[in-house]
Structure 1
Amino acid sequence: MNSIVLGDRTEETVRIYFEQAQKTSIKSMLPQKATTVEEAIADYHETLLPTATSYGKTILADGTYVGDIWCYCIDKTDTPNAMLSYCVFDESSWNKGIATSATLLFLKEIKNKYNLESIGAFTFSDNLASIKVLEKSGFELIETFEEDGRESKYYQIGL
């Protein structure tokens, strides 16, 4: 059993994550906003501002950095909500419950930090591992749709 904790992101972890996320196995399941490491670092610095609408943590399994988890589009208006994303880039850590454990920890943290009422998540319909993480974490399927020729799913959880 792995000991899962969430850690703080740093420029160094952003660099590592960006490099790891270039793997074909990850890029095919998780679209990347940043196209260069410099863009990724600039995006990270924006998350540190008081007006940031995204927030992230690193995922550590037995003390080893294996991925990231974050929320974005944080909306603190009438019905506070956000969107969730995560990636365990270390393939030797796949199928061990690490992403599910990290998701459960992160949901507690962001609920308290932002007083969110709900959080949503998109995933491709063929990303069975992500679907499993979301469902084990209590998310419910809201909609299946096609975008850019690829079937996707939208999940949501009330906090």
Structure 2
Amino acid sequence: MNITLEKRTADSVKTYFEKANRPEIKQVLPQKAKTVEEALADYEQTLLPDAQSFGQTVYVDGKYVGDVWCYCIDMDDEPNCMLSFCIFELEYWNKGIATTAVKKFIQSICALYHVKTIGAFTFAHNQASIKVLEKNGFVVMEEFEDDGMLSQYLQLEC
């Protein structure tokens, strides 16, 4: 299985928006953009020189299966960012794809942005995402309730 990270495009943003808005995905990953136009506007912001987010698409053997991205990139005193990921093709879940994609992406953002820490939020019931993060060195720092959902904050020291 060949897992690669590729450049995001307007077409991949449209595909991601459609696939990530399925109920199976929304129950484990809330979506910020409510319309495809909002998603495209957010993507356009990532292309600016002073962008505070960066993302890549995840491909398995040439098939687009998900995205991985960082946001809230802060280069001030303690360079840090937040991480998120989604494998939207359900038949690719529980195969180690997200773990490998996140590992490759962390290497990229550490080299690009020289961040000291990377944080990630997830729902506490999303054990698959917690497992991916922990396999990549993240540690649970806090558990809290947000909008009635038990959630966790995990962090990686680079």
TM-score normalised over the length of structure 2: 0.99
How many residues align? The count is 158
Question: How much does 1:62 deviate?
Answer: 1.0
The 3-state SS of whatever aligns with 1:132 is helix
**Mapped partners of 2:24, 2:68: distance in 1:** 18
Write out per-residue CA displacement over residues 99-136 of structure 1, whole angstroms, 9 at most, x where no aligned residue: 00000000000001001011000000000110110111
**Where do 5+ consecutive residues of structure 1 fail to align?**
none
The DSSP-based 3-state class of the residue aligned with 1:18 is: helix
Task: Please name the residue that 2:102 is paired with.
Answer: 103
- AA paired with 1:146? E
Per the alignment, residue 121 of structure 2 pairs with 122
Q: How does 1:82-93 map to 2 (within 5 A)?
A: 82-93=81-92
Name 1:35's counterpart in structure 2.
34
Q: Report SS of the residue matched to 2:118.
A: strand
| Paired AA for residue 23 in structure 1 | R
- Counting aligned pairs with the same residue, the percent is 56
Whether 1:150 aligns to 2:123 is no
Q: Deviations over 1:13-45 (max 9, x none)?
A: 000000001110101111111111111011101
1:51 Cα deviation from its structure 2 partner: 1.2
Aligned-residue offset at 1:149: 1.1
Q: How does 1:3-152 map to 2 (within 5 A)?
A: 3-152=2-151
Runs ≥4 residues deviating over 4 A: none
**Which secondary structure state, in structure 1, belongs to the residue aligned with residue 154 of structure 2?**
strand
Structure 2 Cα separation of the partners of residues 63 and 124 of structure 1: 30
What residue identity is the alignment partner of 2:35?
T
TM-score, scaled relative to structure 1: 0.98
Which 5+ residue runs of structure 2 have no aligned equivalent? none
CA distance in structure 1 between the aligned counterparts of 2:4 and 2:21, rounded to whole angstroms: 24
Please give the alpha-carbon distance, in whole angstroms, between the structure 1 residues aligned to 2:94 and 2:27. Answer: 18
Shift of 1:147: 1.1
Q: CA RMSD, aligned part only?
A: 0.6
Shift of residue 3, structure 1, vs aligned partner: 1.1
Deviation, 1:146, is 0.8
SS at match of 1:155: strand
**SS of structure 1 residue aligned to 2:73:** strand
Counterpart residue identity of residue 61, structure 2: D
